[in-house]
C-alpha cells in the first residue's frame, strides 16, 4: 500500500527540548517537503529536498533542521530555537513531470509545546 506516513500523530514537547518528526514515503518520489499549518492560515514551506543528501530552506526555516540520507525518509527536527513551535506539521512528496507534477501529503503531526 503506497503512501506517506508521518509519526507520531500527536507530540508534546517541553520548552527547551528538541523533537524530531518522522516522514516516510514508499512512492519512489525524489522530492519531499515540510510545511507548517497554523489555525486559520494556509500552509507555509519550512524545508524541501529534491534529491538525497541535498535540501533547501523554505520561507520559515529558522528554528528547524532536516536531513535526507535516504530517498524514503525526510525527518524534521524542531529545535529549541523555534520560538513558537505549536502547530500542525505536514510532509509531502512530489511526482514530477509536465503532465503529472503533484504533491501528495501525509496525515500530519500535531506538535504542542507545554
Partner 1 sequence: AQSVTQLDSQVPVFEEAPVELRCNYSSSVSVYLFWYVQYPNQGLQLLLKYLSGSTLVKGINGFEAEFNKSQTSFHLRKPSVHISDTAEYFCAVSDASNTGKLIFGQGTTLQVKP
Chain contacts with partner 1 (rule: CB under 8 A) = 4, 6, 31, 33, 40-45, 48, 50, 56, 58, 88, 90, 92, 94, 96, 98-108, 110
3-state secondary structure of 48: strand
Least distance from partner 1 to the Cβ atom of residue 108, Å: 5
Least distance from partner 1 to the Cβ atom of residue 16, Å: 27
Question: 33 or 113, CB closer to partner 1?
Answer: 33
Q: Cα separation of 46 and 79, whole Å? A: 13
Q: Cα separation of 114 and 60, whole Å? A: 22
Q: Cα separation of 114 and 103, whole Å? A: 32
Least distance from partner 1 to the Cβ atom of residue 12, Å: 16
Least distance from partner 1 to the Cβ atom of residue 60, Å: 13
Question: 8 or 107, CB closer to partner 1?
Answer: 107
Amino acid at each position: 500500500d503506497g503512501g506517506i506516513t508521518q509519526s507520531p500523530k500527536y507530540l508534546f514537547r517541553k520548552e527547551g527540548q528538541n523533537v524530531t518528526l518522522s516522514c516516510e514515503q514508499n512512492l519512489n518520489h525524489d522530492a519531499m517537503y515540510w510545511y507548517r499549518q497554523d489555525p486559520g492560515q494556509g500552509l507555509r514551506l519550512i524545508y524541501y529536498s529534491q534529491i538525497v543528501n541535498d535540501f533547501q530552506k523554505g520561507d520559515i526555516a529558522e528554528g528547524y533542521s532536516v536531513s535526507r540520507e535516504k530517498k524514503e525518509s525526510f525527518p524534521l527536527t524542531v529545535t529549541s530555537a523555534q520560538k513558537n513551535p505549536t502547530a500542525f506539521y505536514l510532509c509531502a512528496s512530489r511526482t514530477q513531470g509536465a503532465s503529472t507534477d503533484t504533491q501528495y501529503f501525509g496525515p500530519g503531526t500535531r506538535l504542542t509545546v507545554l
